[in-house]
Structure 1
Amino acid sequence: MHTLHLKKPLAFFDLETTGVNITRDRIVEISVVKALPNGEIEIRTRRVNPEMPIPLESSLIHGIYDEDVKDAPTFKMFAKNLATFLEGCDLAGFNSNRFDIPMLVEEFLRVGVEFDIKNRRTVDAQRIYHMMEPRNLSAAYKFYCDKSLTDAHSAEADTIATFEVLQGQIARYQGMKVIDSHGKELGTVENDVAALHALTASKLIDFAGRMVYNEKGEEVFNFGKHNGKRVADVLKNEPSFYDWLMKSEFPLDTKRKLTEIKLRALTQR
């Protein structure tokens, strides 16, 4: 039973996928919890053969490997049944408006199964979370310092508050390990600027984050069609990409850092 007031079924769902690219990646598992107006709940969970290899970095997150789905049905095999199960339902999830719903719609379109969301309401619990529990300076000041930021967006008040917030963070977390969403240990919070830099900025190459260091410490692009590719390799194999970026509306800092990498590569030949 549930406590939601519903006029039509509300289908909560979550997808595990081969990655986060809506057009390129595929579903490997889907779970739907359908809440009915009478208070009943129906749950369906199914593994899916994505018809492509699951990258190791994705498997390490959701625990689903190629071997686990090799005998599972493809999305096409049960798409019509799934569409029928979701018929007349509004949709809900966590970050669902930005990821799960677009991914699901793409899968339906790919196999030619009608799944129209025009007449469905969509509820994203993550949006409510972010609206009700803001992650801004005022919220941080209240959380770490138990004070209200009365002159928010006054440069001096914001600066003093940030100074106090960092001290509050050190007092609360010193000695604690930081774990990322993949379960990897990033480091430890220490009362040391070098350690704090390593936690908060060491992977960035340019301030816009268009280039970052990968796990091997190599410079890779962090956007677009070359996302994850080594910068030096792209500059060598597709010189026109450098010209395109330099003529486009990217920050001057990004262009400067890219030029530095290009010049370094030239001198190493």
Structure 2
Amino acid sequence: MSWHRKPFCGFDLETSGIDPETDRIVTASAVRYGGGSPTTGRSWLANPGVEIPEDATGVHGVTSAHAQEHGRPPAVVVEEITTVLAAAVTEGVPIVAMNAQFDLTMLDREARRHGVRPLVDRVTPRVLDPRVLDKRVDRYRKGGRTLTDLCQHYVVQLDDAHTAQADAIAACAVTWKIGARYRWLSRLDLDALHHEQIEWAREQAEGLRAYFARTEGKTEWAAGVRLEWPLIPAPRTGGPW
């Protein structure tokens, strides 16, 4: 049976900012999607321990006051998220994450920050990233490549965009649609597809880096484009990294 007809573990984070090295998890969701069963999931709200900037609140709707009153300790939240994802991987279920490099790196750094054993130290996940897949199968399509854009292109309903659970479900649905539409992709086994995405993501990042480098006003952005996928390795601090 093709990978797109088996269960997915959709994963999404909403955060205090866009730098996984310094910003924090605010909300998270992990969903079980597909495989002929109803979608189920679990969501979390953390008290990140830092102020949530207004720009971030404008995206996901969570204020600092709300997180402080209703959020749980970040170490507990990160431990629970990591445990859920590790259990899915142990079952052979792939993690589906839109722009996985960001979400998985953010989770990794939060784990290290709070003394939680990181996901990559527990299991070796297989990841499906609809952003990487879409850029591979339809490289020259004009227009944006956000999750909202992909949902419009692949005719996937997205209600409550930028809530973690809605985005996790939508990422799974888009990934399913890509697998169903591009049969050559669905014929790859999961291990092969994961490793292909490593190369595709690198090629895509190299293209973005080159674009920034030659575009006036964006040249300084080139150095910030990382080539690793699905996770940027943690900086070496004398530990295993």
Give TM-score scaled by structure 1 length: 0.47
Q: CA separation in 2, counterparts of 1:51 and 1:223?
A: 31
Q: Report the aligned-residue RMSD.
A: 3.1
Tell me how far apart the structure 2 counterparts of residues 115 and 37 of structure 1 sit (CA, whole Å): 27
Q: Which moved more, 1:72-81 or 1:53-62?
A: 72-81
Secondary structure (helix, strand or coil) at the match of 1:11 reads strand
Task: State whether structure 2 residue 63 is matched by structure 1 residue 65.
Answer: yes
Amino acid at match of 1:207: E
Give the Cα separation in 1 of the matches to 2:223 and 2:59: 22
Equivalents in 2 of 1:109, 1:36: separation in Å? 32
1:7-33 CA distance string (max 9 Å, x none): xx6321111111111111001110111
Where 2:42 maps in the other structure, the secondary structure is: strand
Opposite residue 5 of structure 1, the aligned amino acid is R
Q: Out of 125, 132, 146, which is 1:127 matched to?
A: 132
In the TM superposition, 1:100-111 aligns within 5 A as 100-111=103-114
For 1:53 and 1:223, the matched residues in 2 are separated by 29
Post-superposition CA distance 1:6-60 (Å, at most 9, x none): 3xx6321111111111111001110111237563432111211110011111111
Structure whose residues are more often strand by fraction? 1
Any residues of structure 2 matched to 1:1-269 within 5 Å, and which? 4-6=4-6, 10-35=8-33, 39-71=37-69, 72-89=71-88, 90-96=94-100, 98-117=101-120, 119-134=124-139, 136=140, 139-140=141-142, 207-210=216-219
Pair 87,24 (structure 1): closer, same or farther in 2 beyond 3 Å? same
Q: Give the whole-Å Cα distance in 2 for the aligned partners of 1:65 and 1:224.
A: 32
Q: Percent identical across equivalent pairs? A: 24
Post-superposition Cα deviations, 1:53-95, rounded to whole Å, max 9, x if no partner, equal 1111111122211122012112212333333322232311111
Structure 2 SS opposite 1:86: helix
Label 1:55 to 1:91 Cα distance change in 2 as closer, same or farther (>3 A).
same
Instruction: Write the distance in 1 (CA, Å) between the matches of 2:54 and 2:39.
Output: 34
- Secondary structure of 1:70's counterpart equals helix
Residue 78 of structure 2 aligns to a residue whose secondary structure is helix
- Cα gap change, 1:4 to 1:224, in 2 (>3 Å): closer
Relative to structure 1, the CA distance from residue 61 to residue 82 in structure 2 (aligned partners, 3 Å threshold; closer, same or farther) is closer
Residues 44 and 77 in structure 2, CA contact (< 8 A), matched pair in contact too: no
Query: Could you list the runs of 5+ residues in structure 1 that have no partner in the other structure?
Result: 144-181, 183-205, 212-221, 226-269
2 CA distance for matches of 1:35 and 1:87?
A: 16
Q: Distance in 2 between matches of 1:83 and 1:38?
A: 25
Shift in alpha-carbon separation, 1:58–1:80, aligned structure 2, 3 A: closer
The structure whose Rg is larger is 1
Structure richer in helix, relative to its length: 2
The one-letter amino acid of 2:216's match is F
Residues 67 and 91 of structure 1: CA distance in aligned 2, closer, same or farther (over 3 Å): same
CA distance in 2, matches of 1:4, 1:119: 20
The whole-number CA distance in structure 1 between the counterparts of 2:66 and 2:223 is 30
Q: TM-score, normalised by structure 2?
A: 0.52
Letter in 1 for 2:124: N
Alignment length (residue pairs): 145
Report which structure shows greater RCO (CA 8 Å, sep ≥6): 2
Deviation digits for residues 181-207 of structure 1, max 9, x if unmatched?
Answer: x9xxxxxxxxxxxxxxxxxxxxxxx70
Q: Report the Cα distance in structure 2 between the residues aligned to 1:81 and 1:61, rounded to whole angstroms.
A: 24
Q: Distance in 1 between matches of 2:29 and 2:17?
A: 17
Unmatched tracts of structure 2, length 5 or more:
89-93, 144-161, 163-214, 225-241
For the residues of structure 1 that align with 2:77 and 2:54, how far apart are their CA atoms? 26
